[in-house]
């Protein structure tokens, strides 16, 4: 054994005291946390993440505060809406501590206080709305809750980032009534769409008939124009023929008058033959007389219009019409 003198014992004691002081004064704060420092029970400062020094045996760590974003479940609760419908609602809240000192010393049990604050404001906000608005305006509810709860939690050094309503559960009888209402609305919408489709179909059909009538009228107009043009051409031809006939008569050609009379005679005969009321047609008995009449009419036509056939015919074959008695 090595004998220890008094100076050695004193040195060892000093080393031990220094180690204890260092151990008590050096603190390592992990990332995502802030530690509060208290001196004789009074808050003095906040330690950030990293290696920090405090006064040993005088300062101590008061609270270790998580400054990361945290999630807090809001338990289910019953809410009575503006139209006296009872629904069951639950939600979730995301918050973050911005000031560790205020979160530690301004409120007791921070998470419990935030949960009660969220539940109270959920009843307040959702109780001011009727059931239909409650079910269809969930985003508006979340926004209103976020604004109110964040403002209320601000003195605690807490920032509320989001509040989401997870589920809204009406009673079973209300769910059945809503299902019947939705079915009736869909049937009503189907009837309206069917009527609208039928109306559109009738409009299209009427438009088609209108267009058809317009095209038919245009066709009749075009046909009438063509008929008028044909009658005009025919009238011009008849006027020209009458003019030529008048010129022939004025020139002393009496056969032209006979041609004109023969033409009218043939047209009258054709009308008598094609008349539905006239079934009996009286003709001359002798066929030679009929043939002679037809040949005489042809000769009149050739003579009236000065065709070359009458001039080139042999002189032994006369073109006069045989008498009815010969």
Which DSSP symbol is given to 5?
A: P
pTM of the predicted model as reported, rounded to 2 decimal places: 0.53
Q: What angle do CA 182, 185, 186 make, to 5 degrees?
A: 85
Q: State the SS3 of 160-208.
A: EEEEEEEEEECCHHHHHHHHHHHHHHHHHHHHHHHHHHHHHHHHHHHHH
Architecture of domain 70-170: 2-Layer Sandwich (3.30)
Tokens of 302: 């050739």
Contact assessment for residue 90 and residue 74, using Cβ atoms and an 8 Å cutoff: yes
Strands (DSSP E) along 81-183, which ranges? 86-97, 158-169
pLDDT tens-digit profile, the chain (326 residues): 445 556 778 788 778 877 887 788 889 999 999 999 999 989 999 999 999 989 888 889 999 999 999 999 999 999 998 888 889 999 999 999 999 999 999 999 999 999 999 999 999 999 898 888 888 888 999 999 999 999 999 999 999 999 999 988 888 887 788 788 888 988 898 999 889 888 888 898 888 888 888 988 888 888 888 888 888 888 888 788 777 767 776 766 656 666 666 666 666 666 666 666 655 555 554 444 544 555 555 555 555 555 444 444 444 444 444 443 33
């Amino acid at each position: 054994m090595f004998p220890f003198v008094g100076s050695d014992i004193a040195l060892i004691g000093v080393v031990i005291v220094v180690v204890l002081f260092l151990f008590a004064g050096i603190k390592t704060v992990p990332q995502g946390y802030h530690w509060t420092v208290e001196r004789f029970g009074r808050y003095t400062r906040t330690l950030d993440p990293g290696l920090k020094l405090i006064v040993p045996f005088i300062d101590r760590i008061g609270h270790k505060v998580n400054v990361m974003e945290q999630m807090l479940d809001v338990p289910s609760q019953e809410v009575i809406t503006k139209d006296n419908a009872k629904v069951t609602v639950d939600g979730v809240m995301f918050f973050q501590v911005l000031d560790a000192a205020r979160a530690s010393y301004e409120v007791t049990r921070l998470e419990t206080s935030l949960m009660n604050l969220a539940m109270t404001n959920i009843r307040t906000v959702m109780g001011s709305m009727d059931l239909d608005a409650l079910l269809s305006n969930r985003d508006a509810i979340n926004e209103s809750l976020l604004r109110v709860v964040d403002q209320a939690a601000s003195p605690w050094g807490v920032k509320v980032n989001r509040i989401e309503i997870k589920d809204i559960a009406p009673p079973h009888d209300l769910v059945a009534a809503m299902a019947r209402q939705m079915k009736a609305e869909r049937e009503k919408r189907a009837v309206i769409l069917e009527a609208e489709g039928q109306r559109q179909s009738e409009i299209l059909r009427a438009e088609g008939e209108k267009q058809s009538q317009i095209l038919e009228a245009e066709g009749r107009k075009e046909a009438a124009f063509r008929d008028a043009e044909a009658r005009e051409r025919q009238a011009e031809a008849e006027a020209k023929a009458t003019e030529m006939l008048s010129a022939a008569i004025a020139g002393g050609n009496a056969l032209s008058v006979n041609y004109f009379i023969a033409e009218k005679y043939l047209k009258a005969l054709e009308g008598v033959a094609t008349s539905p009321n006239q079934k009996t047609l009286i003709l001359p008995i002798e066929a030679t007389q009929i043939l002679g009449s037809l040949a005489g009419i042809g000769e009149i036509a050739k003579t009236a219009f000065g065709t070359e056939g009458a001039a080139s015919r042999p002189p032994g074959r006369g073109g006069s019409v045989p008498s009815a008695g010969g």
